[in-house]
Structure 1
Amino acid sequence: MNKLPHHKRAQILAMLVEGSSMRSISRVADVSINTVTKLLIDAGEACLQLHDETVREVTASRVQCDEIWSFCYAKQKNVAKADNAPVGAGDVWTWTALDADSKMILSFYVGDRSGQSAMVLMDDLRARLANRVQLTTDGHKAYLEAVEGAFGGDVDYAQLVKLYGDAPEAFKGRYSPAECVGIRKSRIEGNPDGKHVSTSYVERQNLTMRMSMRRFTWLTNGFSKKLDNHIYALALYIVHYNFCRVHKSLKVSPAMAAGVSDTLWSFDNILDRVDTNEATKRPAKRGAYKKRQPAA
């Protein structure tokens, strides 16, 4: 089987986590779009495994949670009239839980904005923590039942609700947000420290995420066409952010700051898992090969 050189695969992964589109990567790396897609799928599967196995028993003190919007194939309002919309088409919400001290993404989940998605995130977050934490979310009501179900009374939980006023006339327009005129902090469970009731770090991480993946960029045609590939791209980004990227203020990777890793990873670690997975796959029977469909 033909296989790309190691440095070429590392180059493609580097471009994927730096906001390049699939087709631009295909042109720069001089490979087919199907090759880029297959490497994304293989690396995404490897990163899902690495995150699940490695981010365990994390000692943290302050955790912030938030959701970030994107869409797959078409925006939710356009799915009904879209041609051949696949399963998973429409609005997609990425839920994240971030350690405010190490800036490590502890848990993430891709779904809708329902209470069920909030429960999945909180159950997963609870399973990855080694101690009681102070937890802050926004005012989304789905968090209330989810946090209670996952943590019970073993958490110091508060919500930070932003209060918005009307946008000034000079700034009113289709993409102009309303002005934030204040915040309200509400204690929900335990004894959270009011000084640390904040979602600033996780919201800043949302910006980094949106800038680092073409699929999250506003007003482009780089949005995801398949939900699975959206999840794979997200998994690759998160493992790279946690383990391979030096945080500017911490001078180490978030995983090192959290005590999860002793060394700074590189794409070699991801590609090693990709190769291991490939070696353990059972070869398909002759004539049973199913060609992958190209996707963005």
Structure 2
Amino acid sequence: MLDAKHKVQYNRGMANVLPLAKRVQILNLLNEGMSMRAISRVADVSINTVSKLLVDAGETCLDLHDQLVTHVQAKNLQADEIWSFCYAKQKNVPDAKAAPEGAGDVWTWTCLDSDSKLIVSYLASGRTQSAAIHFMKDVASRITGRVQLTTDGHNSYPYAVHVAFGKNVDFAQLVKTYGAEGGSGPERKYSPPVCTGAHKVVRQGNPDQSKISTSHVERANLTMRMGMRRFTRLTNAHSKKYANHLYALALFFMHYNFVRQHKAHKLSPAMAAGITDRLWSMEDIAERIETRVNQPKARGPYKVRKPRSEDDAR
């Protein structure tokens, strides 16, 4: 029997544990791009509850990606970068009030297996040479055998690919040229520049000319921009903290790889790549979050997560 004092403490503890169905609902809403405050209203929970669940989900999904997306037998990889920002755009950071560390432009580097549509690796960082090297090293560590790799024309790729793969890659770049920005008045900021041409540049090895393309990874980037509210252009729904931006990415890519069925082959990308033999659900992710959170904490000094690049201290 519990006395009155301990009964109150017990009830408070139970009240802090959300039912599985409620956690799945919140995770699905986060993954569909709804703002955290809107989720707190719809799900009838506090904003702190939503924020805490995003952190726990992000940490869990980062660990799951590192554990599961390994030894990928890919033949044709495509890599690209997509722009977003944290707290304020880079040009506005110097004048921003109390801008936190990590404020400014954030580029998400993605590498996709063109056959299975699996996101093999991703990195949220700057668009720098050091970020490119770290990203390509991570890609190389997750695949087996020789691959063909296509990237856009960003000049950081050739050296980064050389450092990460050595000679064990057939590498080409698809270099696109663009015309002037669309429109001549204020509407030009809503109209991206028109692509006026593209040419293939072989950098290393003997890539198949017919497979030198970035169409699949660019389409995956569009899925990111359509599915994550933080990536919407001309919005105030951007991340205010770099960590939350990374956690939202981790949850999105875990769902994309393991839960979502791709229209091309009617399987999840992880199933098509041979990483798993079943279609996951958001309940699976929620249960793994609970398992991770409830694990006994290690005694002694804290173990700091290795950053995904030196720029991740941003």
Structure 1 length-normalised TM: 0.93
Q: Residue in 1 aligned with 2:255?
A: 240
| Separation in 1, partners of 2:52, 2:58 | 10
Q: Residue in 2 aligned with 1:90?
A: 104
Q: Which amino acid aligns with 2:224?
A: M
| Separation in 2, partners of 1:155, 1:282 | 42
2:203 to 188, 196, 201: 188
Q: Indicate yes or no: 2:65 matched with 1:51.
A: yes
| Separation in 2, partners of 1:169, 1:110 | 31
Q: Which amino acid aligns with 1:166?
A: A
Identity of aligned residues (%): 58
Q: C-alpha offsets along residues 150-209 of structure 1, whole Å, 9 cap, x if unaligned? A: 001110000000111235657872232222111110000000011000000000001100
Q: Residue in 1 aligned with 2:40?
A: 26
Deviation at 1:279?
A: 1.5
SS of 2:294's equivalent in the other structure is: helix
Evaluate the alpha carbon distance shift between residue 203 and residue 168 of structure 1 in structure 2; reply closer, same or farther with a 3 A threshold.
closer
Deviation at 1:126?
A: 0.3
| Separation in 2, partners of 1:282, 1:35 | 21
| Separation in 2, partners of 1:7, 1:239 | 19
Q: Residue in 1 aligned with 2:303?
A: none
The answer on whether the counterparts of 2:182 and 2:191 sit within 8 Å (CA) in structure 1 is no
- For structure 2, the residue ranges without an aligned partner over 5 or more in a row are 1-12, 300-314
Q: Residue in 2 aligned with 1:111?
A: 125
1:161 to 162, 168, 175: 175
Q: Which amino acid aligns with 2:141?
A: A
The answer on whether the counterparts of 2:183 and 2:191 sit within 8 Å (CA) in structure 1 is no
| Separation in 2, partners of 1:170, 1:112 | 30
Q: Residue in 2 aligned with 1:199?
A: 214
| Separation in 2, partners of 1:138, 1:283 | 43
Q: Indicate yes or no: 2:29 matched with 1:4.
A: no
Q: Residue in 2 aligned with 1:268?
A: 283
Output aligned runs, 1:67-146, within 5 Å: 67-146=81-160
Q: Which amino acid aligns with 2:169?
A: V
Evaluate the alpha carbon distance shift between residue 168 and residue 8 of structure 1 in structure 2; reply closer, same or farther with a 3 A threshold.
closer
Q: Residue in 1 aligned with 2:3?
A: none
| Separation in 2, partners of 1:165, 1:210 | 23
Q: Indicate yes or no: 2:30 matched with 1:16.
A: yes
| Separation in 2, partners of 1:193, 1:115 | 26
Q: Indicate yes or no: 2:77 matched with 1:63.
A: yes
Evaluate the alpha carbon distance shift between residue 283 and residue 132 of structure 1 in structure 2; reply closer, same or farther with a 3 A threshold.
closer
| Separation in 2, partners of 1:236, 1:167 | 34
Q: Residue in 1 aligned with 2:190?
A: 175
Structure 2 length-normalised TM: 0.88
| Separation in 2, partners of 1:76, 1:153 | 37
Evaluate the alpha carbon distance shift between residue 271 and residue 163 of structure 1 in structure 2; reply closer, same or farther with a 3 A threshold.
same
SS of 2:237's equivalent in the other structure is: coil
Whichever of the two has the greater Rg, that structure is 2
Q: C-alpha offsets along residues 70-118 of structure 1, whole Å, 9 cap, x if unaligned? A: 0000111111111111110000000000000100100001100001111
- Of stretches 170-179 and 229-238 in structure 1, the one that deviates more from structure 2 is 170-179
Evaluate the alpha carbon distance shift between residue 256 and residue 283 of structure 1 in structure 2; reply closer, same or farther with a 3 A threshold.
closer
Deviation at 1:283?
A: 9.7
Q: Which amino acid aligns with 2:84?
A: S
Aligned residues: 284
- For structure 1, the residue ranges without an aligned partner over 5 or more in a row are 285-296
Output aligned runs, 1:244-255, within 5 Å: 244-255=259-270
SS of 2:240's equivalent in the other structure is: coil
| Separation in 2, partners of 1:37, 1:3 | 14
The answer on whether the counterparts of 2:181 and 2:188 sit within 8 Å (CA) in structure 1 is no
SS of 1:113's equivalent in the other structure is: coil
| Separation in 1, partners of 2:298, 2:274 | 38
Query: What is the RMSD of the two structures over their aligned residues, measured on CA atoms?
Result: 1.5
SS of 2:102's equivalent in the other structure is: coil
